[in-house]
Structures are given as C-alpha cells and as structure tokens.
C-alpha cells in the first residue's frame, strides 16, 4: 500500500504550475462520444480518474492515444452500449456517459456511479431531465436501462443547479431535435469549458456559465481540438499550502477569475494576492487570521471542493472560524484525521468550528476522500516532524504527480511502499 511520507515545516517557495481541470476533462471525454471522428484534447492531466474514463471509452469502442498531455480520441466506431459495473463504480463522473451514449446509440445499460463518499449523491435530476428530453428509463435495482429513438428539446427547470445534471442535459440535447432551455443551470467554469468544446465541434450552446442555458439541436458534430482550462481546485489547494508553509509562492497556469470565490477568503486570512493574466502570487502573513464564516455554495459561491483544504490552513489561524458545508451532507470526514495533527475542530451536523492552534504535530493519517486527502497533505506539510498519509489513491484521483510537484517548491515529501500486518487501508 503506497503512502506519502512528509517531513513537515519546510519553508516552501518558488513557482508551481497547475494542471488541467479534472472536472472539465471527465465530461469532455464522455461528450467526445457525440463526435463521429477525432477530438484532440490538450492540457489533460495524468490522473487515475482520467485513466478510468479512457478505459470506459476504449471499452465502448473508441481509440484513445496519449501524447504527453494531449489525448487524441477517435470515436468513429462506438459499438458497445453497456458499461460494466466495476467501471461505473470507479468514479461519479461515469454517469455523464448516460447522456452521451444515449444520444449516440439510442440505448444504454449501466448502473449507479461510484465516486467520493461525501453524501448520498442521488441522480434523480439526471434521470428526470433525460425523461423530459424524451428518454424512457427503467431502474431495476442497481441497473439503469435508458432508451430513446429521438431525443427532443425541452424546457428543464432544475430544482438545484447540479453540475453533473447540467452536463448530462447539455450533452443529451446538442444533437436533439429542437431547442432545449435549462433554467437554474450550474454555472461552474467546467460547464463553460464543456460548452466551448462542444461548440468547437459544431454544437449551438448559448449562455453556458449563466443560470439559463439554451441549446439549439444540430444534426451532427465534427472533429475539433480543444485545450482544457486550469484546475481551480488544485490552484486553491496550492494557495492553502502556501498560506501556512511559505512566505511567497507563484502559482502559474491559473485563470484568476475562476478563483474569485476563494481569493476574498485568503485575503481575509491576511494573505496578499497579486494577479496577472494567467498566474498569481500569494504572500502569506506570519500567522493567518481566522475567517468569520465560510459557507460552501454553488459557483460563484465558495466551492465545496475547497472546503477541506482551506479548513486545513485555518487550523493554524489565530482565532475561530465557522465552516458551513451546504452542498454535501457528509463532507467532514477529514476532520477526525486533521485533529490527529493537534488541530481543534468540532462538528455539529453540517457546521465545523475550527479553533486555530499555534502548532500542528506529526501524525499517521489516512485519506477519506479526494479533497479530504489533500487537506491532510496541507496539514502534514506544516506539522512539526514526520507524518505519513495512507490511502493516497484518493489524492491520485485529482492531483498529478503531487509529491514531485511539491518537491519542486521545497517540500520534503516522498511516496513509499509500506506494508504492515493488520494495517488499515
Ligand atoms: C461535481 C464535481 C464535484 C463537486 C460538485 C459540486 C465533477 C466530476 N464533480 O459533482 O467535484 O464537489 O460538482 O460542486 O464535476 N444532487 C441531487 N440530485 C441529482 C444530482 C445532484 O440531489 O440528481 C445533489 C447532490 O447530492 C449534492 C448537490 O446536488 O448534494 C450537488 O451535486 P452536483 O452539483 O450534481 O455534484 P456532482 O456533479 O456530483
């Protein structure tokens, strides 16, 4: 079982680059099924979730070739309309293949998706939206059978701006007959990136990034080339690391406007942020200040994906911060692990109270989910002594080559293969 071994409290600094956004790549890979031809996608990070999506594409009949950070995807021959359960359960994003396979082959068989255990994560909005577009869906236990001869446009009002449901509706409606309107659509930058890619392929999607999206169905999509946007969650993770482990860090390959929801929080913590076109510099104070309250919200609110990493930084702030997790009902699993470093965090339902402490101490901890795992890394880098982090396959789902990237800015961190009898994994 692999672990990260971290010698904490090294002063970090210099420059670090952010890779392409995982949450953009995954729906775009699913959407590539709509194109009867080649998609060339640049800035694709090497992540286990990306590998799982490529496995699904290959299984369905696509040919995928990687050249460094570019993927060349040939979806000319798609023959399979079923995805095996073990592939579906590897990640939440597998559910986006429902819309793309339905549009391409008119009949799909799959089961409920997996992904981080951060809440119940139903897919009711995905299924009701596809039904509005004309699909007939039969759920049989864990299996979903979805059929449709001709998808048609519809007006869909989402009761919550679900990212995944918005992506599934966009993907299912670009080749549908007529106009689709999504009201209360998710506004995350990854939605806009999906629309940019599909529009480059010939789709007609208007208003992505806003609360109302209009899609005019077209007859076919053609080959295209697209570059994935930078990963704003990875950028915010590096900002969290910098805020308690460095005096100054330059973070390259970022889109500053995508970080608007998190920058004010770091400024309230006492950090100075200097923005350029595609990079930022974060200058950290001697000790962070507490933030009065943080509430996770759909974009452009504070992202739930940044809750854990920012919380890890705030464990060392002067004063008490209240963090309210409003998106997922079970996204505080990292807290008991953060407390092993000497952090003082208590939880009441969806509210965490973080009492800042002066020092964190080394601990042996285990990742509970992807971003929770990253929060342990933020803490370990700032703890006195040597820590180990287990179950790092969670971190590998969303951070490319994390130990070597952090080593470049001075972190003393290495990946070890560690097997102990009776050890939890
Ligand atoms: C995506 C992101 C994830 C991020 C989340 C919220 C990807 C691959 N994942 O996940 O990193 O944390 O957005 O920003 O892009 N819901 C329902 N019914 C549904 C769908 C969602 O009730 O049919 C609820 C969920 O349980 C959750 C909330 O809506 O409470 C947000 O979920 P959603 O926006 O759909 O997140 P994901 O697309 O799963």
At 92, the pLDDT band (50, 70, 90 cuts) reads: confident
- Which residue among 232, 327, 330, 371 has the greatest number of ligand 1 atoms within 8 angstroms of its CB, and so is best to mutate? 327
Q: What is the DSSP letter of 289?
A: B
Give the model confidence (pLDDT) of 189-228 as tens digits.
Answer: 999 999 999 999 999 999 999 999 999 999 999 999 999 9
The pLDDT assigned to 422 comes to 43
- Over 70: is that where the pLDDT of 185 sits? yes
The structure's pTM equals: 0.96
Pocket of ligand 1 (CB under 6 A): 23, 26, 92-93, 119-126, 160, 162-165, 186, 190, 304-305, 327-328
Please say whether the beta carbons of 348 and 323 come within 8 A: no
Q: Residue 53: what pLDDT?
A: 96
* Residue 126 Cα: closest atom of ligand 1: 23
Which pLDDT does position 423 carry in this prediction?
A: 44
Task: Collect all residues with Cβ–Cβ distance below 8 Å to 175 and sequence separation of at least 6.
Answer: 34, 103, 151, 217, 218, 219, 220, 221
> DSSP of 193-235, one letter per residue?
HHHHHHHHTT-EEE-BTBSEEEEE--S----EEEEPPB-HHHH
- Express each pLDDT in 22-58 by its tens digit: 999 999 999 999 998 999 999 999 999 999 999 999 9
Question: What is the pLDDT averaged over residues 126-147?
Answer: 94
Q: What is the CA radius of gyration of the chain?
A: 22
Q: Please, are residues 134 and 153 in contact by the beta-carbon 8 Å criterion? A: no
Q: What is the pLDDT of residue 16?
A: 98
Q: Check residue 304 and report its DSSP letter.
A: G
Contacts of residue 210, Cβ cutoff 8 Å, sequence gap at least 6: 185, 187
Peptide bond into 298 cis (omega under 30): no
């Amino acid at each position: 079982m692999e672990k990260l071994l971290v010698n904490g409290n090294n002063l970090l600094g210099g420059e670090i680059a952010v890779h392409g956004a995982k949450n953009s790549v995954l729906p775009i890979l699913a959407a590539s099924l709509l194109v009867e031809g080649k998609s060339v996608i640049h800035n694709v990070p090497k992540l286990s979730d990306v590998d799982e999506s490529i496995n699904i594409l290959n299984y369905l009949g696509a040919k995928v070739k990687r050249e460094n950070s570019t993927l060349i995807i040939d979806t000319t021959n798609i023959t399979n309309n079923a995805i095996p359960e073990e592939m579906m359960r590897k990640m939440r994003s597998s559910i986006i293949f429902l819309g793309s396979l339905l549009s391409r082959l008119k009949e799909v068989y799959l089961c409920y998706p997996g992904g981080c255990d951060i809440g119940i994560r139903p897919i009711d909005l995905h299924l009701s939206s596809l039904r509005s577009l004309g699909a007939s869906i039969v759920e049989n236990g864990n299996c979903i059978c979805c059929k449709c001869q001709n998808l048609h446009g519809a007006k869909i009002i989402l009761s919550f701006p679900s990212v995944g449901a918005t992506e599934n509706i966009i993907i299912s409606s670009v080749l549908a007959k007529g106009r689709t309107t999504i009201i209360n659509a998710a506004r995350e930058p990854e939605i806009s990136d999906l629309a940019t890619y599909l529009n480059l392929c010939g789709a007609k999607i208007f208003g992505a990034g806003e609360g109302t999206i209009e899609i005019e169905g077209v007859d076919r999509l053609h080959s295209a080339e697209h570059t994935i946007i930078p990963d704003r969650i990875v950028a915010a993770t590096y900002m969290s690391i910098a805020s308690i482990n460095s005096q100054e860090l330059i973070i390259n390959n970022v889109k500053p406007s995508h970080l608007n929801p998190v920058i004010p929080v770091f400024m309230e913590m006492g950090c100075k942020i200097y923005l350029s076109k595609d990079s930022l510099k974060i200058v950290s104070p001697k000790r962070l200040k507490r933030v009065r309250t943080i509430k996770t919200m759909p974009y452009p609110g504070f992202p739930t994906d940044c809750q854990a990493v920012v919380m890890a930084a705030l464990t060392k702030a002067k004063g008490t911060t209240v963090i309210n997790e409003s998106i997922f009902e079970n996204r505080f699993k990292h807290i008991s692990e953060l407390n092993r470093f000497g952090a003082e965090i208590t939880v009441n339902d969806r509210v965490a109270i973080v009492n800042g402490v002066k020092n964190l101490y080394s601990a042996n901890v285990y990742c509970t989910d992807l971003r929770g795992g990253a929060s342990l890394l933020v803490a370990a880098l700032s703890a006195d002594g040597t820590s180990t982090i287990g179950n790092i396959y969670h971190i590998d789902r969303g951070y490319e080559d994390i130990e070597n990237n952090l080593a470049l800015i001075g972190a003393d961190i290495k990946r070890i293969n560690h097997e102990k009898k009776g050890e939890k994994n």
